[in-house]
Amino acid sequence: MESYKYRSNSITRPSRLPKKEEEDAQLETLLLEGLAGGADIPVTPEFWKDLKAEARDIDVKHKGRKLSCP
């Protein structure tokens, strides 16, 4: 826990560092699994077109959602 003193009040909040490290480790594991698994696919102009369309669909789906502050 980190403590911050402001005037006569003390504010305490949990440290977020362990959570960030845990998330980074999870991301690394998923990336390595992705690299190790499955057959390679050709990266063609059609691949990029489909990937961009999928990203746009995800963006539209999540528009207007509130982001949580860390």
pLDDT at 38: 80
Tracing tokens 């977020």 back to the chain, one arrives at 16
Residue 8 has pLDDT above 60, yes or no: no
Name the pTM for this structure: 0.43
51 or 18, higher pLDDT: 51
pLDDT at 59: 92
CA neighbor of 2 nearest in space, from 69, 10, 19: 10
pLDDT at 35: 86
